[in-house]
Structures are given as C-alpha cells and as structure tokens.
Amino acid sequence: MEFPNWWAVLLAAASNFILGGIWFSLLFGKLWMRELGFTEEQLERGNMLKIFSLAFIFNLFIASFLGMSLNHPDIGAAQGALYGFLSGFGWVFFAIAVNSLYEQRSWRYVLITGGFWTISLTIMGLILGAWG
C-alpha cells in the first residue's frame, strides 16, 4: 500500500479546520456550547495553541489513513466523497452516538458533532479521491 499524495493529505486536513470554523462558530456554535454546558469564557481559557496544534496533527492522521484506503487509480472524486461519507456516517457518526448514550448527551449534540464529522470526511474523501 502506497502513501497518498502529501499535498492532498495536507489540504484534506486543512479542510477540516475550515469546515470546523464555519460549523462550530457561524452555524452551530451557540447551540453546541449550550449542549455541552460551556460558556465563551470557559472556551477562551483553553490553550488554543495546544488544541489547534494537536487537532491539526490528528487531522493529518485521519486524512492519511483515509487517503491510504482511497489510494487506487480507479477511485476519483465522486467515489472518494462516497467513501468519505460512508466512513463519516457509518463509523464516526454512530460511534459518537454510542458514546453519547453512555455520556447522557443529547441527540442535538450527536447531530451537531456527528454531522460535522460526516461532512468533514466526505470533503476529505472528495479531495483525496480527486488528487489521488
């Protein structure tokens, strides 16, 4: 198994940050914070350099592993997006749902967080499939 195109992996990882910025601030930020019981002051106390640095490294791993599974000449953008969607919805969304049951989190939280990862992995798959 060959490693996927590094530029595609970097762009796929960066796409998660772009979507996350839109998703967790403009679209669902207030609702997400309410579902977790967070205030803006609590979030601002976090070490943003540490959080964003580790999140980007983890996104590189996610994009790398997804890229390895899509690294085939017959896979294009559409199939990459489909496989990204199936990974996001079929695995990540429902893993979040299972954890949320035990953590007694709301279905709104599951939809916000699981929806983010489903769309994020779909975009990552599209990028990696197109550039692979």
Q: Which residue type occupies 34?
A: R
Per-residue pLDDT reduced to its tens digit, 108-129: 999 999 999 999 999 999 999 9
Per-residue tokens: 28: 């669902």
Per-residue pLDDT reduced to its tens digit, 83-109: 999 999 999 999 999 999 999 999 999
* Residue showing tokens 């969607």: 85
* Residue showing tokens 């953590």: 103
The predicted model scores a pTM of 0.94
CB 8 within 8 A of CB 124: no
* pLDDT of 1: 61
Per-residue pLDDT reduced to its tens digit, 46-64: 999 999 999 999 999 999 9
DSSP 8-state class, residue 46:
S
Angle (CA) 108 112 118, round 5°: 135
Per-residue pLDDT reduced to its tens digit, 3-43: 789 999 999 999 999 999 999 999 999 999 999 999 999 98
